[in-house]
Amino acid sequence: MSVKIGNKNVSITVALHGGTITHFIYHGEDIIFPHHFIGSLKTRGGIPVCFPFFGVPTEKFSQLPKHGWLRNQQLALINGTDHSVSLTGHNGHLTEVYPWQLEYTVTASITDTDGLLFKLEATRLDDGIKEPAPVNPGFHPYFSNLGKSELVCCDGTSKFVPAQKIHVIDLGSKKVKMTLSGDFNENSQFVLWSDVEKYFCVEPILGDPQHFDTPRGKNLEIGERIMLGCLFEVVE
């Protein structure tokens, strides 16, 4: 099941499964490579949310899937208009593997500039655990055409580069400006990745994956909240 928002220029589709953006259609052209399944489990395309961490889990959390559980979880619709939709979830079903209790909301909105603002907000609940909860979330956008300057190969190799607050991506016929907000900071990174020429990914993540579950990474205390925002705007 999915929810669609839009106006005369833009149409955005959000899946309740994972809160994934499956389409971002701008003046009739899908800027995001459409989300689809490969086989019964693996997916490609769209803009999935990677939470509570990006990448392959550490040995301590090896029972959790790559890029965390949120993108595989059915979320609940809590608010919806013609221009904005919010979905929510929590991890009460995973406490044996990840004992901290988190509540999170995914919101997709159309801006006045016909852009897509995608936000993730997460709060640690009062779970009675003294240790802080490790998190390193991010977004995983797939762009429809191979950019001229983002990647030099499509062999599935990831390239990590410092994330700028504003970054313009060349799609050939169009350019997309990505603007990061919220808790993205000087330690945030872009992961550049592709495995075929049909699409490429520029993935903003909060911090270095090697710092996840370490004092150098982000760790939430009880009641602490984190927010990541990414604005996608087409610039002609």
Indicate the residue type of 33.
F
Q: What is the chain's pLDDT, residue by residue, as a tens digit (236 residues)?
A: 899 999 999 999 999 999 999 999 999 989 899 887 776 667 788 999 999 999 999 999 999 999 999 999 999 999 888 999 999 999 988 888 999 999 999 999 999 999 999 999 999 999 999 999 999 999 999 998 645 545 556 677 888 999 999 999 888 778 899 999 999 999 999 999 988 878 889 999 999 999 999 999 999 999 999 999 999 999 97
Position 156 scores a pLDDT of: 76
* pLDDT of the residue at 153: 62
pLDDT at 213: 95
pTM of the shown model: 0.93
**Cα separation of 192 and 210, whole Å?**
16
* Domains annotated on the chain, with CATH: 2-235 (2.70.98.10)
Sequence-distant (6+) residues with CB within 8 A of 178 are 166, 167, 168, 169, 202, 204, 230, 231, 232
State the pLDDT at residue 7. Answer: 94
Instruction: Provide the pLDDT for residue 211.
Output: 94
Q: Distance between CA atoms of 209 and 50, rounded to whole angstroms?
A: 12
